[in-house]
């Protein structure tokens, strides 16, 4: 049965409605006026100016990254405080997806990096300039094994060493803080000897060429290592003079720290030692060892929070053998996992690994695992869950 309201309350309702209407109008109107005067309406039909399109190339445009973009880039945010400016990207109408890249000195900065950012991994340093001179080869630079290709889903993506890199961006970043970074110790007891690599560069400290004095009483070959709290960088250079082009001093919010690629180092020491027998045995390429994990105990050297998911997992049969280029493939029900000192475990049903030239110098090599650069990797097959 419908309820009839008494006549008197009808008028009250109308009055309340008018009051509510007026309040809404006045408040809404003044808020709108306030916002419109504070903020310009965003213009969505104007494309962002920080994108570089390669006309006729089917791969996505590149982004010129500013500091804010770098702060939001998961793999690259450790570089967020460095002075940043745009590189120049040159392309050629004849080869639609070809390009090269150059960073010029900016605003009183004479030492700087060219860096590639992406959303699915840590940055790759493309070029390093010290005192206005590229330390390896002239700019502009091309990037080795970087190409536009179709991904398995049919989309065109940039590929670095045969695996897609997504949301690719580039930046020039200053490298002028190294004299603020912690002292790099030299263990001369072990035979380590160093020489300043760029003696004229006032903005560079502790960047050495290292070698080992021959031990009179030892028949073993000794090599320099860059050793830190939880990692050992072992650049197996062709000669016995070893250098560390990826070593860069990064200004964190209140302190300065050394990084090797994206790996933060603490208590950095250059020391000499013979290459351990085990390491020597599993050495497969100029990049050094790529141990095959066939028992969980081998995970002990990696950080617990990264390995705890795998410690109770079954280790599968490893029917693959590391070499300079290889695939990790696992039996049914297992997946490949690569552990490293500088990256979270990389899991895929198929993993492509290559030992390749470091863009910073042809005398340096690096492991690349599905387009990600890893330091001291090891891999194995683990039961899927």
Ligand X SMILES: *[C@@H]1O[C@H](CO)[C@@H](O)[C@H](O)[C@H]1NC(C)=O
Binding residues for ligand X, per CB under 6 A? 105, 110, 131-132, 325-327, 352
Angle at the Cα of 344 from the Cα atoms of 228 and 285, rounded to 5 degrees = 65
Q: CA of 223: how far to CAs of 78, 161, 242, 283, in Å?
A: 30, 29, 8, 15
Sheet with 242-243: strands ordered across: 192-196, 208-212, 242-243
**Distance of alpha carbon 109 from alpha carbon 226, whole angstroms:** 27
Q: Which DSSP state fits 57? A: -
Q: Under 8 Å CB-to-CB from 221, ≥6 apart: which residues? A: 274, 275
**Distance of alpha carbon 110 from alpha carbon 101, whole angstroms:** 18
**Closest approach of ligand X to the CB of residue 51, in Å:** 28
**Closest approach of ligand X to the CB of residue 53, in Å:** 30
- Dihedral of the alpha carbons of 354, 357, 358, 359, in degrees to the nearest 10: -120
Tokens matching residue 351: 């993993």
**Closest approach of ligand X to the CB of residue 202, in Å:** 7
Of the candidates 171, 167, 168, the residue with the CA atom closest to the CA atom of residue 82: 171
**For ligand X, the closer CB: 265 or 353:** 353
- How crowded is residue 18: how many other Cβ atoms within 10 Å of its Cβ? 10
Q: CA of 103: how far to CAs of 70, 114, 245, 256, in Å?
A: 17, 6, 17, 24
**Closest approach of ligand X to the CB of residue 120, in Å:** 19
**Closest approach of ligand X to the CB of residue 235, in Å:** 24
**For ligand X, the closer CB: 63 or 159:** 159
Contact present, 126 and 246 (Cβ < 8 Å) = no
250 half-sphere exposure, CB direction, 13 A CA radius:
21
**Closest approach of ligand X to the CB of residue 131, in Å:** 4
**Distance of alpha carbon 236 from alpha carbon 225, whole angstroms:** 9
**For ligand X, the closer CB: 98 or 352:** 352
**Closest approach of ligand X to the CB of residue 329, in Å:** 8
**For ligand X, the closer CB: 354 or 358:** 354
**Distance of alpha carbon 341 from alpha carbon 348, whole angstroms:** 18
Q: CA 241 from chain center: how many Å?
A: 27
Tokens matching residue 214: 């021959």
202 half-sphere exposure, CB direction, 13 A CA radius:
3
**For ligand X, the closer CB: 110 or 358:** 110
52 burial type by CB count under 10 A (0-12 exposed, 13-18 middle, 19+ buried)? buried
**For ligand X, the closer CB: 156 or 348:** 348
**Closest approach of ligand X to the CB of residue 212, in Å:** 32
**Closest approach of ligand X to the CB of residue 200, in Å:** 8
**Closest approach of ligand X to the CB of residue 246, in Å:** 22
**For ligand X, the closer CB: 30 or 327:** 327
User: For strand 169-174 and strand 62-64, is the pairing parallel, antiparallel, or unpaired?
Assistant: parallel
**For ligand X, the closer CB: 302 or 352:** 352
**For ligand X, the closer CB: 65 or 201:** 201
**For ligand X, the closer CB: 201 or 265:** 201
């Amino acid at each position: 049965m419908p309820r009839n309201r008494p006549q008197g309350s009808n008028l009250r309702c109308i009055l309340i409605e008018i009051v509510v209407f007026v309040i809404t109008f006045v408040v809404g109107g003044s808020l709108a006026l306030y916002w419109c005067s504070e903020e310009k309406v965003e213009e969505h039909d104007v494309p962002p100016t920080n994108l570089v399109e390669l006309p006729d190339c089917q791969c996505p445009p590149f982004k010129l990254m500013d500091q804010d973009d770098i702060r939001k880039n998961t793999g690259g945010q450790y570089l967020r405080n460095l002075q940043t400016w745009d590189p120049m990207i040159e392309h050629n109408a004849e080869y639609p997806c070809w390009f090269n890249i150059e960073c010029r000195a900016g605003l009183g900065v004479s030492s700087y990096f060219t860096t590639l950012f992406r959303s699915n991994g840590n940055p790759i340093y493309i070029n390093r300039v010290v005192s206005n001179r590229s330390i390896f080869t002239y700019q502009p630079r091309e990037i080795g094994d970087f190409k536009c290709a179709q991904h398995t889903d049919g989309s065109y993506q940039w590929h670095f060493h045969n695996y897609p890199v997504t949301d690719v961006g580039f930046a020039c970043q200053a490298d002028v803080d190294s004299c603020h970074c912690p002292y790099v110790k030299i263990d001369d007891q072990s035979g380590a000897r160093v020489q300043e690599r760029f003696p004229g560069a006032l903005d560079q400290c502790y960047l050495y060429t290292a070698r080992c004095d021959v031990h009179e009483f030892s028949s073993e070959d000794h090599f320099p290592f860059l050793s830190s709290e939880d990692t050992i960088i072992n650049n197996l250079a062709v000669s016995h003079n070893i250098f560390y082009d990826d070593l860069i001093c990064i200004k964190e919010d209140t302190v300065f720290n050394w990084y090797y690629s994206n790996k933060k180092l603490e208590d950095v020491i250059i020391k000499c030692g013979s290459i351990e027998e085990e390491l020597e045995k599993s050495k497969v390429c100029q990049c050094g060892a790529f141990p095959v994990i066939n028992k969980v105990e081998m995970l002990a050297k990696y950080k617990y929070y990264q390995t705890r998911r795998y410690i109770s997992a079954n280790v599968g049969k490893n029917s693959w053998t590391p070499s300079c280029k290889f695939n990790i493939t696992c039996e049914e029900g297992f997946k490949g996992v690569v552990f490293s000192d500088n990256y979270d475990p990389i899991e895929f049903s198929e993993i492509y690994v290559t030992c390749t030239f470091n863009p910073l110098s042809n005398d340096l090599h690096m492991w690349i695992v599905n387009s990600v650069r890893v330091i001291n990797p090891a891999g194995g097959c683990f039961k899927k869950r």
